[in-house]
Amino acid sequence: MSEKIDVLGIGNAIMDVISPVSDAFLSDNDIEKGGMTLIDEARALDLNQKFSNIGSPQEIAGGSAANTIVGISQLGVRSAYVGKVANDKTGNRFAAGLKEAGVKYATKPLVGQDATARCLIAVTPDGERSMNTFLGASVKFAPGDIIKSQIEAARIIYLEGYLFDQEPAKRAFVKASEIAQAAGKTVSLTLSDLFCVDRHRESFKHLINHHVDILFANEAELLSLYETDNFDAAIKALRKDCKIACVTRSEKGSVIIEGNDMHTISVASARSVTDTTGAGDQYAAGVLAGHVQGMDWKSAGYLGSICAAEVISHYGARPETSIHGLIVSATD
């Protein structure tokens, strides 16, 4: 990884397993709708089997930051990824998937311990995602997996808040931030999840204050971070804590805080919502790719909005536009 790259993502390396389900499936299996629940290996295998019984679940090399990094690569921007899989078939497919998407990936796999992580994503008819995550090998990610030359080769590093759920990974994360800062690089962070923010509020605040240049969060995560139910109050606090903050607000679009300015960005499409999985990840991809290409923050936000709009129009966390019925039979 000696050649220059633009954005390097660091996150939980997780194979996404995605299935459409009924609301009854959620209650029958005690799955919390719309949330992200950590599960153990036995539960992961059980849900995976149930997904297979329903039909053919999709398997995509994922994890939040990996999805963002693949999106960035698809926008023509040089990208790399750092995250831990096991030395098993799923881990090999994860590595192959990233490489096929044009992402540089060279983290050494874990040997002889936990299996590669997987996230079982149940998507209900209303488009909401309910995630059940077995962290497996991904959380054996440790400071030793952070290679100084890899970090220094990147213009921007992009950190996934989910990593804060484990102490060694958190230390790896801080190490990467410090290397990037010392080299004059840009540090960006996504808060990842409402419950993740709740579990690590003070650590996040400290990181944002001391290390983060560009923050990504959705409205709920932001309100949780500052323990308020007032959006304006949260924005006011945010202005003091970081230079650039990109806050997504579902159907209200997003805002980007740039010093004293606030750029308001509307939702970029009237497309139907099929599956909101990965909307935030692809929003971040568009914003970071646009920024790397020299766009101002308002324009980069619009590109983020386009990328988010595309991904919610179909199942799965990666770009895959459909033609929406415009292809019809070629005979009269």
Instruction: List, in sequence order, the alpha helices (H) in 13-146.
Output: 23-28, 41-54, 64-74, 89-100
- Secondary structure letter of residue 31 according to DSSP: P
Min dist. Cβ of residue 53 to a second copy (A): 12
Contact assessment for residue 167 and residue 199, using Cβ atoms and an 8 Å cutoff:
no
Q: Is residue 268 within the footprint of a second copy (CB under 8 A)?
A: yes
Query: Site size for a second copy, by CB under 8 A?
Result: 57
Min dist. Cβ of residue 327 to a second copy (A): 5
Phi-psi category of residue 34: left, alpha or beta, with phi > 0 → left and psi -120 to 50 → alpha: left
Cβ atoms within 10 Å of 139's Cβ, excluding its own: 21
Q: Which two tokens stand for residue 126?
A: 């209303």
- By CB under 8 A, which span of 6-14, 96-104, 133-141, 194-202 interacts with a second copy? 96-104
CA angle 130, 9, 99 (to 5 degrees): 90
- By CB under 8 A, which span of 162-170, 232-240, 242-250, 297-305 interacts with a second copy? 297-305
Quote the CA–CA distance of 168 and 180 in Å, as a whole number.
Answer: 19
Quote the CA–CA distance of 304 and 282 in Å, as a whole number.
Answer: 7
Residue with tokens 């019925």: 325
Q: Is residue 56 within the footprint of a second copy (CB under 8 A)?
A: yes
Contact assessment for residue 61 and residue 15, using Cβ atoms and an 8 Å cutoff:
yes
- By CB under 8 A, which span of 126-134, 191-199, 228-236, 287-295 interacts with a second copy? 287-295
- By CB under 8 A, which span of 132-140, 190-198, 200-208, 304-312 interacts with a second copy? 304-312
Contact assessment for residue 286 and residue 303, using Cβ atoms and an 8 Å cutoff:
yes
Quote the CA–CA distance of 21 and 315 in Å, as a whole number.
Answer: 12
25: helix, strand or coil: helix
Q: DSSP letter string over 129-156?
A: EEEEEE-GGGGG--GGG--HHHHHTEEE
Q: Is residue 327 within the footprint of a second copy (CB under 8 A)?
A: yes
Q: Is residue 331 within the footprint of a second copy (CB under 8 A)?
A: yes
Phi, psi of 215 (to 5 degrees): -110, 135
- Out of 48, 130, 150, 190, which residue is the one contacting a second copy (CB under 8 A)? 48
- Out of 63, 97, 280, 304, which residue is the one contacting a second copy (CB under 8 A)? 97
- Out of 22, 27, 52, 209, which residue is the one contacting a second copy (CB under 8 A)? 52
Q: Is residue 309 within the footprint of a second copy (CB under 8 A)?
A: yes
Write the binding mask 62 to 91 for a second copy: x where contact by CB under 8 A, - elsewhere. Answer: --------x---xxx-----------xxx-
Q: Is residue 326 within the footprint of a second copy (CB under 8 A)?
A: yes
Quote the CA–CA distance of 150 and 107 in Å, as a whole number.
Answer: 10
**Residue whose CB is less far from a second copy, 37 or 92:** 92
Write the binding mask 152 to 171 for a second copy: x where contact by CB under 8 A, - elsewhere. Answer: --------------------
**Residue whose CB is less far from a second copy, 1 or 220:** 1
**Residue whose CB is less far from a second copy, 159 or 268:** 268
**Residues at the interface with a second copy (CB under 8 A):** 17, 48, 51-52, 56-61, 70, 74-76, 88-90, 93, 97, 100-102, 266-271, 290, 293-296, 298-299, 302-303, 305-306, 309-310, 316, 318-332
